[in-house]
Amino acid sequence: MTNQKSYSLPSIMTSDSSLPWLLPLITMLVVFAIIPFFYNIYLSFHEFVPLKRALIFVGWDNWIKLFTDEIFWGSLKVSLYYTFVCLIIQLVLGMGIALLIDSDDPGFGVIRSILTLTLVIPPAIAGMIFLIMEDANYGLIPWALKSIGLLGQEDTILADPTLALWGVMIVDIWQWTPFMVLILVAGLRSLPSEPFESAMIDGAKPFQIFRRLTLPMLHKVIAVAVLIRGIDLWRMVDYVFVLTSGGPGTATYTLSLYSWQRFTFVQWGYGATISLFSLIVILIVGNAFIHFAKVKW
């Protein structure tokens, strides 16, 4: 290394200490994640009082309000339902499609490429595509459901309290099932072929092979997929904002949307309390999942 001398850097950059290497990352995390986290805690004990034009300390009021607020419990239920139902549908559907297109045939590569398309569409825009397709009067989906008799002639999707959430979930399922498929295909492709060959020779049935060999060997890949999808489902706000804005009434408020909506109504403290609640839940559940499913980076 003859050019080492011409390459002079501040001595702190050449030292063995970890600090200079990690300092930019740590600074970014502190300013944009840790300070907001503590500021959120601070806000949850304060409320903006318009008359005084100031944040006033209110003690536990916001938290008491939170646990007695029916809209909060409703939005918690919506968030939980949305997260779990979408996760299960995407996982099962994703596994089915992954097994279908797991092949060396180059024709299947085209399908994998098509499936990547939905992954780069902004969720807000994906919501708008479905806004057109689910329109009560001229939409394709209500028309199709009506013509096969699944939906009454006068019924709508997005204005119906029980169907509206499904109208939102269908977008998520459309956009992110391909994500599950592609992860699972990547996992399936990386499996060794010997165990499967010997199982076939021993006369195992396809379902037995899937249950006893494929699933356990895909354990890690499935865990990663569930973790990442679960995080994004829990914090989803784009689709529901575009499609229903929480309506009809408060039927499709998720925690994130409700907290954002309180924020825009200048209930800054209460909005922060709701968002802090959803943050604490995902941090505990997410880290516990990483621990118990032994996900490694």
Q: Which of residues 221-260 bind another protein (CB under 8 A)?
A: 221, 224-225, 228, 231, 234-235, 237-238, 241-242, 255-257, 259-260
In 3-state terms, the chain is what percent helix, strand and coil (to 5)? 70, 5, 25
Residues in the chain: 297
Answer yes or no: are the C-beta atoms of 248 and 164 closer than 8 Å: yes
Answer yes or no: are the C-beta atoms of 95 and 158 closer than 8 Å: no
Per CB under 8 A, which region of 66-74, 80-88, 194-202, 284-292 contacts another protein? 284-292
Backbone φ, ψ for residue 56 (5° rounding) = -115, 140
Per CB under 8 A, which region of 9-17, 63-71, 158-166, 208-216 contacts another protein? 9-17
Least separation in angstroms between CB 70 and another protein: 20
**Should residue 189 be labelled a site residue for another protein when binding is judged by CB under 8 A?**
yes
DSSP state of 35: H
Which of 114, 150, 200, 215 touches another protein by CB under 8 A?
114
Distance CA 1, CA 20 (A): 23
Q: Which is nearer to another protein, 165 or 276 (CB)?
A: 276
Comparing CA positions, the residue from 166, 210, 188, 177 lying closest to residue 93 is 177
Least separation in angstroms between CB 170 and another protein: 10
Per CB under 8 A, which region of 63-71, 160-168, 197-205, 288-296 contacts another protein? 288-296
**Should residue 276 be labelled a site residue for another protein when binding is judged by CB under 8 A?**
yes
**Should residue 124 be labelled a site residue for another protein when binding is judged by CB under 8 A?**
yes
**Should residue 133 be labelled a site residue for another protein when binding is judged by CB under 8 A?**
yes
Per CB under 8 A, which region of 67-75, 138-146, 153-161, 201-209 contacts another protein? 138-146
Per CB under 8 A, which region of 13-21, 58-66, 67-75, 156-164 contacts another protein? 13-21
Comparing CA positions, the residue from 171, 146, 169 lying closest to residue 156 is 146
Answer yes or no: are the C-beta atoms of 182 and 115 closer than 8 Å: yes
Comparing CA positions, the residue from 190, 237, 233 lying closest to residue 214 is 190
**Tally of CB atoms within 10 A around 270:** 27
Least separation in angstroms between CB 209 and another protein: 16
**Should residue 1 be labelled a site residue for another protein when binding is judged by CB under 8 A?**
yes
